[in-house]
Amino acid sequence: MQSVKILDQFPNVQWANFKGKDLLRIDEFTGEELMQLLELAVHIKQLQKSGQPYQPLVGKTMGMIFDKASTRTRVSFEVGMHQLGGMAMFMSGKELQLGRGEPISDTAKVMSRYVDVIMIRTFSHAGVEELAKHATIPIINGLTDEFHPCQALADMLTIWEHKGKLKGIKLAYVGDGNNVANSLVLAAALLGLDVRIATPPGYEMNEEIVEQAKVYAQTSGGKLLVTHDPIEAVKDADVVYTDVWTSMGFEKENEQRLNDFAAYQVNDELVSHASPSYIFLHCLPAHREEEVSSSVIDGPHSVVFDQAENRLHAQKAVMAAVV
């Protein structure tokens, strides 16, 4: 069966402008470009479900550098690259010469001569920026301590699928002002959502990111509310989202965080303030009875596994567009 050529079905999109572009943070792309990627993801997903091949990356290779453990990121990228016709190589950061002190710039230059794209999941966002600065191929951020753009793209795809639109959707995020929150808020602001963020005192989002999101919201028609009150955030929300209270790298703070976040659990009482037709999102892995009750994450409003699946389709759209 001949591979379908999807990009040709978008005659008004300048896909050449995407080629070679990095995805280090979600606002590497404009709101319009994000919608184009989401539309591409929908088409790719439909083709996959119908069994039609879409393989624009035959002969292409992706290097995957992992300094942080992963389930969804590794499997979705590796499977996605295979389905697009290319191949993916798993590389532990500890096993590369990076682990023995080779400068990031040298690794970037060498890898650019071997592979066609690099996906990296690591701690330091500055390190990923340094990699991109010296590479001559696209760099995709699979997660850093500051940003998780691929997750945000999958989140927007899931909301769009279940709610039929993005502009004006009321999105409540309750929990830590972490990398997931940073990318989620930027994506929501670019795409015109009404986003509300509720964090405990001392765990707020980065203020520069909040201010940047406000600028995007002014252009897109979106709204942004930052609060310490989870009920204020969730009131009439179409989407309720949370994440773990203790992310990788913060394990030493776990006991303190359990105390500080106790009033921020997403449970039946809190979601009773949301719209009756709300959907629940969580980027996973989840700790049931900590940040979310089992009754919510395993209940009828939860679409967390659709959300997890959409990592595959959203990332395939990114790879197809930039490689």
14 marked among binding-site residues: no
Per annotation, catalytic residue among 67, 283, 307, 313: 283
Q: Is 311 part of the annotated catalytic residue set? A: yes
Q: Is 121 part of the annotated catalytic residue set? A: yes
268 marked among binding-site residues: no
CA distance 267 to 249: 26
Q: Is 257 part of the annotated catalytic residue set? A: no
111 marked among binding-site residues: no
Per annotation, catalytic residue among 151, 265, 307, 315: 151
72 marked among binding-site residues: yes
Strand residues in 108-261 grouped as ranges (E): 117-121, 139-143, 170-174, 194-198, 223-227, 239-242
100 marked among binding-site residues: no
Q: Is 14 part of the annotated catalytic residue set? A: no
CA distance 144 to 28: 15
Q: Is 25 part of the annotated catalytic residue set? A: no
247 marked among binding-site residues: yes
Per annotation, catalytic residue among 43, 121, 125, 301: 121
121 marked among binding-site residues: yes
Name which of 187, 204, 205, 207 is nearest 195 in CA terms.
187
97 marked among binding-site residues: yes
Q: Is 151 part of the annotated catalytic residue set? A: yes
196 marked among binding-site residues: no
Q: Which helix (H) or strand (E) holds 253?
A: none
Start-end of H helices in the chain: 31-50, 72-83, 104-111, 125-134, 149-163, 179-190, 207-220, 230-234, 254-260, 268-271, 294-297, 304-322
Cα distance between the two ends of the chain? 23
151 marked among binding-site residues: yes
By three-state DSSP, how is residue 96 classified? Answer: coil
73 marked among binding-site residues: yes
By three-state DSSP, how is residue 192 classified? Answer: coil
Per annotation, catalytic residue among 148, 196, 282, 313: 148
Per annotation, catalytic residue among 243, 265, 301, 313: 243
CA distance 51 to 105: 41
194 marked among binding-site residues: no
Find out whether 148 and 173 touch, Cβ atoms under 8 Å.
no
70 marked among binding-site residues: yes
Per annotation, catalytic residue among 25, 196, 282, 311: 311
Q: What are phi and psi of 284, to 5 degrees?
A: 65, 150
248 marked among binding-site residues: yes
Binding positions for L-ornithine? 179, 243, 247-248
Binding positions for carbamoyl phosphate? 70-73, 97, 121, 148-151, 283-284, 311
Binding positions? 70-73, 97, 121, 148-151, 179, 243, 247-248, 283-284, 311
Catalytically annotated residues: 121, 148, 151, 243, 283, 311
